A and B are shown apart, each in its own frame.
Chain A
Amino acid sequence: MSNSAWGTLSDQAVAFAGVVYFLALLAHLVEWSALRQVATPATVTAGSGEVLVAERPGPTAASSSRAELFGRLGVLLTAGAAFVHFIALLGRGMAADPNRVPWGNMYEFTLSGTFVVAVLYLALYRKLALHWMAPIVVAFVLTLLMVAVIWLYGPVAPLTEALNSPWLVIHVVSAVIATGAFTIGGIASVLYLVKSKHPDAGGYLARVPEPPALDRIAYRLHSFAFPVWTFAVLITGPIWAHQAWSSFWNWDPKEVWAFITWVVYAGYLHARATAGWRGRRAAWLALVGMATLWFNFIGINYFSTTSQHSYAGLEAPRVPGPAQTSR
């Protein structure tokens, strides 16, 4: 396959993945609406541990089984979409000459970030019983994919010189994994806040686990993501920055925001140990963290033009040179 064929394949795969994610979202919406007809489900908490959500069997057993069917369909479609999504990433990497990891510009970063969100969700689907998260995750991934295609798209280009380093793989992989886990944790925190405000709401919210379980899921995801983020931002980032830009910490806007994100999430973990900050306040901190995270991921590139992390030719580089060309 030629390079341009790979590029075309990637573009088509992104479009196709978008369609399949959309079908998955539809399936979950059908599932959701089917549940709305079910009499308010009783939520049973066993011990204080596993939260089981048991629908009260009633005259609407048919719609309940329809919900289950569409729920499964939705997950299957999501898995299919994630696979096509992966092909899109592979195509981007294969289309470049020489072949490379698909992290050369913001379009590719966003493609990778959403892919990791989808994969992490699927991987943790059983372990953390994330069925309730399905519509939100799928909608989130779909929205960001659209943002990537509409606003961030850039043609396949070889890596700029400074990006051409093994640290690209280590730094970006860890940052993207942390971003995915923070995002899913953040979704759990949003639902924690909503659910604890409306504990008796029916419909979709009734399927969402009880606040303590949501809080635990959010905490587990954040406490996984935080060390990974530390590794990406405070270890591999500085090592690479030191090699490429001669200084391990430059107070570059992207670094500043990565640091802000780190501090906010450190605050979140700290808050959970502090009386009066557990629960709602900690959850709000997690959301602030997620906002800074995604602002840094996409927003800062448009907001600040001084960043050495400006990729994808968002601006013409001011002074060319090996280390100053369109980073």
Chain B
Amino acid sequence: MRITPRRSSPPPLRSSGEQPDSVAGHARKPGELTLKEMLRWAWRQLTSMRTALLLLLLLAVAAIPGSIIPQNGVDSLKASQWRDAHPKLTPVYEKLGLFHVFSTPWFAAIYLLLLISLVGCFIPRIVVYAKALRARPPRTPSNLDRLPEHAQFLTDRSPAEVLDRADVVLQKYRRDRTDDSVSAERGYLREAGNLLFHVSVLIVLIGFAMGSLFGYKGGVIVVVGQGWANNLTQYDDFAPGALFNPDNLDDFSFDIKGFDVTWLTSGPAKGQARGFVSHLDYSQDGGPTKSYDLKVNHPLTIGGTELFLIGHGYAPVITVRDGQGNVAWSGPTVFLPEDQTFTSIGVVKAADAEPKGIGLRGWFYPTYAFTDASGPFSVMGDAKNPAISMQVYAGDLGLDSGTSQSVYALDTSHASLVKKADGKPFRVDLALGQKVKLPDGLGSVSFDGLDRWNKLKISRTPGVRIALAGVLMALLGLLGSLFIRPRRAWVRARETEDGTLVEVAVLDRAGGDDVAPVLAEIVERLEENT
């Protein structure tokens, strides 16, 4: 594959006895290199095939920790659990960036070196290839029988006839004819495929980089029946690329009109949900409203932004009235599912209730059931018998302290658990439509309805088409470089006393190819009477 011979050792100090002008007047010790030579040597080292190979293997090895140690970007919960479980290793791992292997400097160093090596490798090769494309097949060697694959036979046809025939047999080769021989070469496109592959790797990386620099990924939970507008403040989580510009957010909005899901009630996958469809009405740039049925595997594209349905759950409609009978909180409250039965956890914050702020924390069970052994649980994810079971906190919920809070966490550092007269915690255990009075004149809680929510991932990935085009080109180049067989063939015909002596030789230029059958076929076709 290597076309230009490259030295992998330092270049000799003097070529052809000529004193290098850079060191005139200064006697150099053996092995001493000027800076320029040093750099050239280092460059040659870096761009050598062997270095490229080692870097490639190093890249594979470096990727291993990223698959074994939980990664922040892949599963942040798992990563933080791992950190809690390994307090000694964690600081070392943090320092090495082992929780985000694929964005560490050392990982980047490997692939950047590989890239430089790649570029340094293929640019000279493009130049060489450009010349080779126009090159004529090499002249017929004088001793064809020195080549590893050769054959000869005698015929009573004249040399000119044999060579005419050779022109036909070697039709697919580029040919040069001399008085007594035909020299031929084929497979020029192999190197083109090779180069295309290497260039494509660059293109893929550019596409990939564009996506991670200029794109973003966001997540949002929207209650079914409500609407959403694409605005930075509307996202629950938002991870922009380093060069992302918020002005580039596409202008669109949507309403979730409805959400369908089918629950399997029999078979091995009993209890699993199937066939999720979120019925969206959306409009772009204030244009007409269009409808789309958002499903798994069927994202919606609006402008350059894509919307994916990635999760769903329940939002019980809970109303909290305070001690004075005023509504302190009312509305669908998003509960996050904990397992496949959709037993979900959630928090209600009625901080402005009087006399004391009221906080609820607890569980939602879509199909509530109870046994003494297991306590309350949900039989399945479908909402057959929805119920909530929550603890009540009274006091300051810390919402006015200025620090931001998760809507799924209750700050109970200045609030106290509400207890019954017997000292046991008071629980709000409500089936749908029920209402309960809180002790101590705090107010009441009612479970008025049940809504659903959808979790959407909303992202913009510029460059994805470039990456796809790159990888398709890479595949094309790969096919060319693997399956185009570069070969040279020579046929010489000379008159001897016994008749015309025909010598044929074939040379495999790629290595690893078996050209004996090719030689046999050429000989056979040459011998055919025409």
Contact = CB atoms under 8 A, between A and B. Distances in A.
A246 B299 contact: yes
Interface stretch (B245-253, B316-324, B474-482): B474-482
B199 interface: no
A226 B482 contact: yes
A264 B57 contact: yes
A245 B66 contact: no
A164 interface: yes
A248 B310 CA distance: 15
Interface in A214-235: 215-216, 219, 223, 226-227, 230-231, 234-235
24 contacts: A97-B267, A155-B268, A160-B269, A160-B272, A161-B274, A165-B297, A223-B483, A226-B478, A235-B472, A244-B297, A245-B308, A247-B217, A248-B467, A251-B102, A259-B60, A267-B60, A273-B1, A276-B50, A277-B50, A277-B53, A278-B511, A285-B57, A321-B312, A321-B313
A322 interface: yes
Contacts of B311: 319-324
Given A230-B478, A263-B59, A323 B309 contact: yes
Contact of A321 (B306, B310, B479): B310
A249 B71 CA distance: 14
A127 interface: no
Contacts of B515: 49
Given A246-B299, A322-B276, 14 more contacts: A50-B516, A227-B475, A235-B475, A243-B299, A245-B310, A246-B308, A247-B461, A251-B74, A270-B56, A273-B49, A274-B1, A274-B50, A320-B311, A320-B337
Contacts of B479: 227
B35 to A, nearest CB: 29
A274 B149 contact: no
Contact of B459 (A234, A247, A277): A247
Contacts of B276: 161, 322
A244 to B, nearest CB: 5
Interface of A: 46-50, 97, 155-158, 160-162, 164-165, 167, 215-216, 219, 223, 226-227, 230-231, 234-235, 238-240, 242-253, 256-257, 259-260, 263-264, 266-267, 269-274, 276-278, 285, 292, 300, 303-306, 316-326
B64 interface: yes
Contact of B78 (A260, A306, A316): A306
Contact of A162 (B68, B296, B513): B296
B475 A306 contact: no
Contacts of B208: 249
A246 B312 contact: no
Contacts of B461: 242, 247-248
Interface in B477-507: 478-479, 482-483
Nearest to B297: A165
B2 interface: yes
A152 B522 CA distance: 53
Nearest to B261: A322
User: Chain B interface: which size bin?
Assistant: 35 or more
Nearest to B78: A306
B306 A322 contact: no
Residue of B275, B471, B474, B515 ringed by the most chain A CB atoms within 10 A: B471
A241 B297 CA distance: 9
Contacts of A223: 482-483
Interface in B41-86: 49-50, 52-53, 56-57, 59-60, 63-64, 66-68, 70-71, 73-75, 77-78
B268 A156 contact: yes
A264 B272 contact: no
Interface in B335-356: 336-340, 342
A292 B57 CA distance: 13
A247 B459 CA distance: 8
Nearest to A224: B482
B66 A251 contact: yes
A216 B455 CA distance: 53
Contacts of A256: 63-64, 66-67
B79 to A, nearest CB: 9
Interface string B455-469: 101010100100110
Contact of B310 (A50, A264, A324): A324
A69 to B, nearest CB: 30
A320 B2 CA distance: 53
A249 B66 CA distance: 14
Report, nearest first, the 6 A-B pairs whose CB atoms are least far apart: A49-B516, A321-B311, A273-B1, A256-B67, A253-B67, A246-B308
Contacts of A97: 267
B514 A216 contact: yes
A321 B455 contact: yes
B299 A158 contact: no
B297 A158 contact: no
Given A50-B516, A248-B464, A263-B60, A243 B274 contact: no
Interface in B282-327: 296-299, 306, 308-313
Contact of A263 (B1, B57, B68, B338): B57
B516 A242 contact: no
Nearest to B102: A251
A267 B53 contact: yes
B359 interface: no
A8 to B, nearest CB: 14
B296 A322 contact: yes
A322 B312 contact: yes
A263 to B, nearest CB: 4
B339 A320 contact: yes
